[in-house]
A = this chain, B = another copy of it.
Amino acid sequence: MQITKKRLAHIVFESDDWASKTFDIVLLFMIFGSIFVAILDSVGSLRAQYGEVFLILEWVFTGLFTIEYLLRIWLSRRPKNYIFSFFGMVDLLAILPTYLSFFVMNSQLLSVVRALRLLRVIRILKLGRYVAEAEYLTKSLKASSHKIMIFVGFVLTIVLITGTLMFIVEGPDSGFTSIPVGMYWAIVTLTTVGFGDITPITPVGQLLSSLIMLMGYAIIAVPTGIVSSEMASQKRRLEKSNQIVCPACKHTGLEKADEYCRFCGEKLG
């Protein structure tokens, strides 16, 4: 059995038969595997012990990803479109640093190149299309994204004002060394994360912080309210769409309780 270029393109780009599904699953394991190795390699003690094993695995994965990258360019109808697409760039970034590390002698630069290699984890976003139900969540978030954006803008205004006020009130002695740092603190506080790396020391600063925290407590309800009411409304719409089709005019959107079609007046069974 001879594999034509068309057949190969089908295997690489589609996922509707045995061969193409297997290709996807193997790729999936390779992505997870290379991420897992990168994670373990970042742990100092493991690297000291198994550094060479990680290096070999690194080259195996890079080799396989290179073959996949070249295959995609060769099989693509418009190779340029793929190369300059977001995932095309990510695919290139996933293999380039390993090759670059050959030619770089400067150890400082080498560590930057090594770090770039870790950006490979962005490839995990490709998995999104394997999870059908993820669509439901992204839809809900997108439907309320406009309101959430305005809300984030509102929060950022509060962050700017409170960050500036705290910088004036507390000053560099408490760690508020600049307005950007004050804004960082305001975000840490408003989102109720509260690291505690920078905290108010003066009574006025503590009073102001208390007001900011109570305000954050009150407004944290807003995004929840937006998403909740959006989801509830989607559910109601879904329940409504479980409706009956009129046998005369073929209109959908009728409810079980209806006695006459509301579009053509036909009496329903």
A residues contacting B by CB (< 8 A) are 35, 38-39, 42-44, 115, 118-119, 121-122, 124-125, 127, 131, 133-134, 136-137, 140-141, 146-148, 150-155, 157, 160-161, 164, 167-168, 177-181, 183-184, 187-197, 199, 203, 206-207, 209-210, 213-214, 216-233, 235, 250-265, 267
Chain B neighbourhood of A193, CB < 8 A = 189, 192-194, 213, 216
Q: List 18 A-B contacts (CB under 8 A).
A: A43-B178, A118-B164, A121-B164, A127-B157, A131-B150, A140-B225, A188-B194, A188-B210, A191-B192, A192-B193, A194-B194, A195-B199, A220-B223, A222-B227, A228-B228, A229-B235, A252-B257, A265-B265
Oligomeric state, in number of copies? 4
| A118 and B179 contact, CB distance less than 8 A | yes
Q: Do A226 and B221 touch (CB < 8 A)?
A: yes
Whether the Cβ atoms of B157 and A133 lie closer than 8 Å is no
User: Which of B157, B197, B228, B260 makes the CB contact (< 8 A) with A231?
Assistant: B228
Nearest residue, chain B, Cβ from A124: B157
Ranked nearest first, the 7 interchain pairs of A and B with the lowest CB-CB distance are A193-B194, A260-B265, A258-B262, A196-B196, A195-B196, A225-B227, A42-B179
A17 to B227, CA, bound (A): 37
- Do the beta carbons of A210 and B187 come within 8 Å of each other? yes
A24 to B68 CA separation, bound complex (whole angstroms): 53
Chain B residue with Cβ nearest A45: B178
CB distance from A157 to the nearest CB of B (A): 6
State which of B119, B121, B181, B235 has its C-beta within 8 Å of the C-beta of A206.
B181
